[in-house]
Amino acid sequence: MNKIKNILNKNNLSREDMKYIFKLEDKNQLQYLYDYAYQIKEKYVDKKVYFRGIVEFSNICEKDCYYCGIRKSNSNMDRYTMDEKEIIEAAQWAYENEYGSLVLQSGERTDNEYVEFVEELLKKIKSIGDGALGITLSLGEQSYDTYRRWYEAGAHRYLLRIETSSKRLYEKLHPSNHNFKSRFQCLQNLREIGYQVGTGVMIGLPYQKVGNMVDDVEFYRKFNIDMVGMGPYLKHMDTPLAKKVINFDEKKQLQLGLKIIALTRIVMKDINIAATTALQALNPVGRELGLKAGANVVMPNITDKKYREYYKLYENKPCIDEESKECRSCLKKRVESIGEKVGFNEWGDSPHYFKRISQKE
C-alpha cells in the first residue's frame, strides 16, 4: 500500500511509476489509485457529468482498420446512412432533452458529396435553439479545407483518436495505406483551425506493451490535449485482429481501461475525459466505474434504434435495444447513483481549454 501512496505523493510521475501502475494487480492499491484520481477530478472539474448525445449516422467506411467491425472489408455488415431529416430529429430531441452537446460520428468518407452533406447538416443543427447545442465531430481523417469548412459551419470540437502513440504498433493495427504521420498531422491541423481537440487510444491491444501505454499518457501531455475518449480494445469476430487474440480477459481489459483513465486524470487534471461505452461492454456498471476513476463525460446514444445494431465497432455493444429516452433516464440514474449530477443544458467545455487559450493570448 505504501508504494502507491509514495508514487502518488510525487509531483511528477516517472515512466517507472506509470509502468508500476499499469502492472498493478493488488486490489487495495488499485482502489487507492482510483480514489486519488477521483479527488483530483473533484478539485479540478467538479462532480458533474456532461452528456454528449451521440448520433452514429453512417457505418459506411473507406478505412480498413484491422480491429474495427465497420471496416470496409467486412462484408458481413449491412450498411446504412441516416438521412438529413432523421439526424436533425435526433439533434432536436437532444436539445429538447437538455443535452448541452451533440457528437456526430460516422465511418470515414472523404468524397465531396459527404463533405457537403455534413456542412449543410451542421448549419441546420446550429439553427436549433439559436446555436444552443455544442457540436463535436468524430468523422476521421479529412483534408485541412474540409476541417475548416466544418468549423465555419458550426462544429467546435473534434475527436480523432490517435489509436496508439506508437508508430510501430499503429502499423501493426492498420493496412499500409493508413498513415500514422498523417493522422498526427490531422490533430495539428484541427488545433490550428481552432477546434477543441480530443484524442485517445485503445488499451489492451494485441502487441501492445506496458511502455506503449505509458507513451500514450505522455502523448496526451505533450500534445496538451483538451479532451480524451479512450477505452479498452474489444474483439469483433469479423476482423483480422480478433484472430490474434489468444486469451481475452475481460476483467483485465476493464482494469486497464480504468487505470489509463485514472492516470490521465492525475497527469492532465482539468481536461474532459469520457467514460466510454466500451467500458460498459465489459461490465454492466463499467461507465460508473470510469466516472469513479476520474472520467467526467458520458456519451448517451441518441441514434434511432433501428440503426444501432449496425454501428457495431466491437462485440457486446450495450444499448442496442434501448430508445434514446431510456438511455437518458438510465444514465441519469447511473450518474446519481454515485453521488454526482448531470450538467444539463451546458456545453461543458474543459477548463483546460480555457486555460490554454488564455495563456496563448
Binding residues for (3R)-3-methyl-D-ornithine: 138
DSSP state of 105: E
Q: Is 356 helix (H, G, I), strand (E, B) or coil?
A: helix
Q: Say if CB 39 and CB 287 are below 8 A apart.
A: no
Piece in contact with ligand 5AD (CB under 6 A), picked from 14-22, 38-46, 124-132, 227-235: 227-235
Q: Residue 234, interface with ligand 5AD (CB under 6 A)?
A: yes
Q: Residue 311, interface with ligand 5AD (CB under 6 A)?
A: no
Q: Residue 184, interface with ligand 5AD (CB under 6 A)?
A: no
CB of 313 to ligand 5AD, least distance (A): 4
336 binds, among ligand FES, ligand 5AD, none (CB under 5 to 8 A by kind): none
Determine the distance from the C-alpha atom of residue 309 to the mean position of all C-alpha atoms in its chain, rounded to a whole number.
19
Angle between helices 15-23 and 250-268 (to 10 degrees): 150
Phi (first) and psi of residue 341, to 5 degrees: -125, 160
352 binds, among ligand FES, ligand 5AD, none (CB under 5 to 8 A by kind): none
| Residue whose CB is less far from ligand 5AD, 178 or 356 | 178
The secondary structure element, H or E, covering residue 67 is: none
Q: Residue 90, interface with ligand FES (CB under 6 A)?
A: no
Q: What type of residue is 38?
A: Y
Greatest C-alpha distance within the chain: 59
Scan for cell 484541427, then name that residue. Answer: 190
Read off the C-alpha cell for 37: 484520481
| Residue whose CB is less far from ligand FES, 86 or 322 | 322
The DSSP bridge pattern shows strands 101-106 and 196-199 to be: unpaired
Alpha-carbon distance of 21 to 263, in angstroms, equals: 8
In the window 261-290, what residues touch ligand 5AD (CB under 6 A)?
278
90 binds, among ligand FES, ligand 5AD, none (CB under 5 to 8 A by kind): none
In the window 314-343, what residues touch ligand FES (CB under 6 A)?
319, 322, 326-327, 330-331
Piece in contact with ligand 5AD (CB under 6 A), picked from 4-12, 15-23, 229-237, 333-341: 229-237
Read off the C-alpha cell for 257: 481501461
Piece in contact with ligand 5AD (CB under 6 A), picked from 17-25, 171-179, 207-215, 230-238: 230-238
Q: Residue 289, interface with ligand FES (CB under 6 A)?
A: no
In sequence order, what are the residues at sequence separation of 6 or more whose Cβ sits closer than 8 angstroms to the Cβ of residue 151? 193, 194, 195
Site residues, ligand 5AD (CB under 6 A): 67-68, 161, 163, 202, 231, 233-234, 236, 278, 313-314
Q: Give the residues lining the site for ligand FES (CB under 6 A).
A: 300, 319, 322, 326-327, 330-331
